[in-house]
Structure 1
Amino acid sequence: MSDPTNKAETTSDAPQQASPADSAAAPQQPATAPQPAVTTRGQRALREIMGGSFVISVLAVFLALVVGAVLIALTDPGVQQASGYFFARPGDTFRAIWSAVGGSYTSLFQGAIFNTGAFTFSAGIQPLMNTLSAATPLIFGGLGIALAFRIGLFNIGGQGQILIGGAFAGWVAWSFPMPFPLALIVAIVAGIVGGAVWAGIVGWLKAQTGAHEVIVTIMLNYVAFYLISFLLRTPGALQAPGTNNPKSPAIPEAAQLPGLFGIRYTVTWAFVLAIAAAFAYWWLMNRSNLGFRFRAVGENPSAARTAGIGVERMYIYGMAIAGGFVGLAGVNQVLATTPGGFSSGFDAGLGFDAITVALLGRSRPLGVFVAGLLFGALKSGGYVMQAANGIPIDIVLIVQSLIVLFIAAPPLVRAIFGLPTPGSAPRRSRRAAGADRTVAKEA
């Protein structure tokens, strides 16, 4: 006869089989999910910096130079010859590539920054002076285009604003003889007014009729070009007296921008004016009430209108001020670059290069200034690279275009280098959050 006590003890020690009803009634305990990685303030700051616009801009320039190096290697005759027997002597091909690319970029540096082969320091820094001279109108134009960007407008009318601004400055310079520096100051102000009036037309049409600024600025480029061409062929207008050539009179010496370091170098006081313009742009956009309104309209026109800001007036004011900045590029072209008289093409394509500078500079004053220096260096050094190595100058234009391409596609640059997106969580944190959601869904 069995002992009931022993049977009960045996039964209690055995594992219990839960019934379906008990399983349904008992709450399920969620599995332990991996905890998200804790990021410190320094790590978050590093992620913001690595995925920010500055790093993207630097890497965009680097990628463009890499692609330029590939193009130089592919078009170099020495590389093509060595690649014909690559499998027999591969080292010759790599040496030819290094020689072609290294020699080209060395010439680019020597033509843009410092000529290491010069006998004197003053001769060695001649390329740097040329770079500053080439960068000056790009900085002016870039600031004007950038200001329009900050208001939410796309100003493609840099060419027309440069032409009108330069024509105003030149006409005032030789029509109203005055002593130095009054003649120079009046001519500069006239150039600013000319660019502002020409761009202000765009702002007025945008505000009053809703006309798209891209179409209007493109059309005004053609109007300005053919208007200046007509006036340069009209005696008594912009044409020099006693000649049938479409060329203006020479700029009086009292109205010419003097050399910053004497007549030896091409850089003039316009570069100092460019520094002042960049500071003025910074103060306008970051410290003035008008700049606050510009930024508000650029961020959200509807919200700005609700807050009582006259959006239409901001369009007019913004385009006029932007045109004034771009008009300074025309002043530089007339009073510094072509003081002997200008023709209808004195804008030299700077209006479209200024768009590139504004994009690379992210519409910030320091960024535009540095971008202007970079493109001035590419322009100044590109000719030396072509003369010394036989590299087509078109390679430099391709590099500039690629910089714009990469600047306009930050996700592409981030994907190539594996950079984080600003404001996003680290990958481990995202995986942990995904695991949490999965466990919660299963529970």
Structure 2
Amino acid sequence: MTTPSVSGTAPGVGGSVADAPPPPAEDAESALARTLQSLARSDLLVVVMAFVFAFLIGSVLIVIADEDVRATFGYFFARPGDAVVAVWQSVTQAYGAMFRGAVFDAPGAARAAESVREAGGSGTYVLLPALTAGLRPLTETLTIATPLIIAAAGMAVSFRAGLFNIGGTGQLIVGAMAAGYIGFALDLPGVVHLLLALLVGVIAGGLWGGIAGFLKARFGANEVISTIMLNWIATYLLAFALKTAAFTGANQSQPTSPSVGENAQLPLLLGTGFRLHAGLFLAAGAVVLLWWLMSRSTLGFHFRAVGSNPRAARFAGISTSRTAFLTLAVAGGLVGLAGAVHVLGTERRLTEGVAGNIGFDAITVALLGRSGPVGIALAGLLFAGLSTGGRFMETNQGVPLDLVSVIQVLVVLFIAAPPLVRTLIGLRHVDHPGASARVRRALRARTAAVPATVDASGAAPVGGHRAEDPVDPRAASDGGPASDGDDPTGGVTPSGGGGDAPSAGPAPAPERGADPTDAQEDA
């Protein structure tokens, strides 16, 4: 048997190109595997699949609620195609109506363009009315998203600091009350009046959040309980205020306040035909402020340090009690700004339901956006689109508006359980990275436990033990297998005396090369 040469020249040094070994294919495969695993572990995949599963479950509910679809299932075995077509049309028309009510109304744009053409218009006289009608749903989505994004930014501050702030509703109500009162009770120059109303709303929300922060810092009160109780206090305080002459003026029979003055109103961006106002720029500013505060400021570093490890932050010299107070005060100030923007830009007056569901939806948006600025902006737009699109879906297709709430809850449920989402899409091993490696090691151990077999020619047994197991030198001297690795010398010892030559000691068994996949998954 020809013994392969061990010696040789290094690739590229005194040798031909043909002597150079080919690049290992495992490097590209391992890089691809690492990329796929990082994608599987990312939050983006969980968020996307959470919406996919939520809309799939919503589709089932749409089918169940549709009487025409249920009727086709009565004769399903006679004509199954009718049921399939009815299910497809019901689901696509419902979600199509949701898109029309949230983003772009193509049929509405076509109708507007046709009416202008019938009146003799052409060119831009047709284009502008068509775009106005088509983009109206998008402007409504942006209007609803504006206070939601600002309030969610405030919630994110407390979440990043490890405090679960449930007091968004109360802080928003107090901020709206203060800003609304300044708006209709005072008569000041334009810019001064608006800025003062916004500033008072921020201060009121900050003070309301600071109450929970003070209770947390001074007495160790749980912020969840204190903020929930402050929500009820603010709700009943607003109801009481709207029964007093200070907030209702001469019309005390109606629980509404006078409209805020024109100087205190946020200016409309697209004219009186749309509700979109300049609060949209404040929402963008709140997102930028969140990024700067938590990523570039010393105060934000303290917030994140306390939220990550309060004990380590305390040993580093950061006052956890002071940080808790400042966290809830800053969060309350941002939520109070959301209330001021909502009453000065959208509602224009105080009512008992001025807060709506903004306070609690902001919690969901902050959690959905992972308390990050970009995530909060996208999640706020998405939730606002579900709200506006759901109302249009109810009026256009007869689908109950409660379906939107079901989809929102399902999204939060799936995002709160990433292992559940990965299990549903077949990526359960991502949450247990060492599981597949352990399985392979167990299979190799089971294979090694099988008794070695000897062929008919009397050849040495193969596969009697694992390569990494220690080898008994006596078994090697008796002709047993020293290792299951490949011997490049063809069984000839380095001394040239063959297998009968005495050795100075037991030769160590050749070690098996490390499996990069095992090391990667065990890491």
Give TM class, smaller chain. 0.7 to 0.9
Cα displacement (A) at 1:423? 7.9
**Which position in structure 2 is the counterpart of 1:261?**
270
Distance (Å, rounded) in 2 between the aligned partners of 1:274 and 1:401: 24
Query: Contact 1:162/1:326 (CA < 8 Å) preserved in 2?
Result: yes
Cα displacement (A) at 1:264? 2.1
**Which position in structure 2 is the counterpart of 1:314?**
323
Distance (Å, rounded) in 1 between the aligned partners of 2:30 and 2:431: 14
Q: Please, which moves more after superposition, 426-435 or 197-206?
A: 426-435
Alignment of 1:1-400 (within 5 A): 40-117=30-107, 118=109, 119=112, 120-236=130-246, 238-339=247-348, 341-400=349-408
Cα displacement (A) at 1:401? 0.6
Percent identical residues: 44
Deviations 1:296-326 (A, max 9, x none): 1111111110111111111111111111111
Q: Kindly name which structure, 1 or 2, has the bigger radius of gyration based on alpha carbons.
A: 2
Cα displacement (A) at 1:42? 4.8
Question: How many residues in Structure 1 have an aligned counterpart in Structure 2?
Answer: 405
Question: Structure 1 residues 265, 421: CA separation in 2 closer, same or farther (over 3 Å shift)?
Answer: farther
Deviations 1:329-361 (A, max 9, x none): 21122101221x221210012111111111111
Cα displacement (A) at 1:183? 1.0
Question: Structure 1 residues 291, 41: CA separation in 2 closer, same or farther (over 3 Å shift)?
Answer: farther
Distance (Å, rounded) in 2 between the aligned partners of 1:330 and 1:300: 32
Distance (Å, rounded) in 1 between the aligned partners of 2:283 and 2:203: 17
List gaps (5 residues or longer) in structure 2: 1-25, 113-129, 449-465, 471-523
**Which position in structure 1 is the counterpart of 2:499?**
none
Match of 1:65, as an amino acid?
F
**Which position in structure 1 is the counterpart of 2:463?**
none
Q: Please, which moves more after superposition, 50-59 or 430-439?
A: 430-439
Query: Contact 1:51/1:421 (CA < 8 Å) preserved in 2?
Result: no
Q: Please, which moves more after superposition, 214-223 or 242-251?
A: 242-251
Distance (Å, rounded) in 2 between the aligned partners of 1:212 and 1:163: 21
Query: Contact 2:429/2:436 (CA < 8 Å) preserved in 1?
Result: no
Q: Please, which moves more after superposition, 170-179 or 97-106?
A: 170-179
Question: Of 406, 410, 422, which residue of structure 2 is paired with 1:414?
Answer: 422
Match of 1:94, as an amino acid?
V
Distance (Å, rounded) in 2 between the aligned partners of 1:283 and 1:395: 37
Distance (Å, rounded) in 2 between the aligned partners of 1:404 and 1:312: 31
Give the TM-score normalised by structure 1.
0.87
Match of 1:73, as an amino acid?
V
Question: Of 383, 386, 410, which residue of structure 2 is paired with 1:402?
Answer: 410
Deviations 1:83-110 (A, max 9, x none): 0000110110111101110000000000
Question: Structure 1 residues 85, 143: CA separation in 2 closer, same or farther (over 3 Å shift)?
Answer: same
Match of 1:235, as an amino acid?
A
What's the secondary structure of 2:164's corresponding residue?
coil
What's the secondary structure of 1:342's corresponding residue?
coil
Distance (Å, rounded) in 1 between the aligned partners of 2:76 and 2:66: 15
Question: Structure 1 residues 131, 431: CA separation in 2 closer, same or farther (over 3 Å shift)?
Answer: same
Query: Contact 2:176/2:350 (CA < 8 Å) preserved in 1?
Result: no
Question: Structure 1 residues 161, 422: CA separation in 2 closer, same or farther (over 3 Å shift)?
Answer: farther
Distance (Å, rounded) in 1 between the aligned partners of 2:366 and 2:278: 22
Match of 1:54, as an amino acid?
L
Distance (Å, rounded) in 2 between the aligned partners of 1:264 and 1:65: 33
**Which position in structure 1 is the counterpart of 2:516?**
none
Query: Contact 2:139/2:275 (CA < 8 Å) preserved in 1?
Result: yes
Distance (Å, rounded) in 2 between the aligned partners of 1:239 and 1:78: 49
Query: Contact 2:243/2:252 (CA < 8 Å) preserved in 1?
Result: no
Match of 1:72, as an amino acid?
I
RCO higher in 1 or 2 (8 Å CA, sep ≥ 6)?
1
Match of 1:330, as an amino acid?
G
Deviations 1:364-410 (A, max 9, x none): 11101100000000000001100111000000110011011101111
Deviations 1:191-217 (A, max 9, x none): 111111101111110111111011101
What RMSD over aligned residues (CA atoms) do the two structures have, in Å?
Answer: 2.0
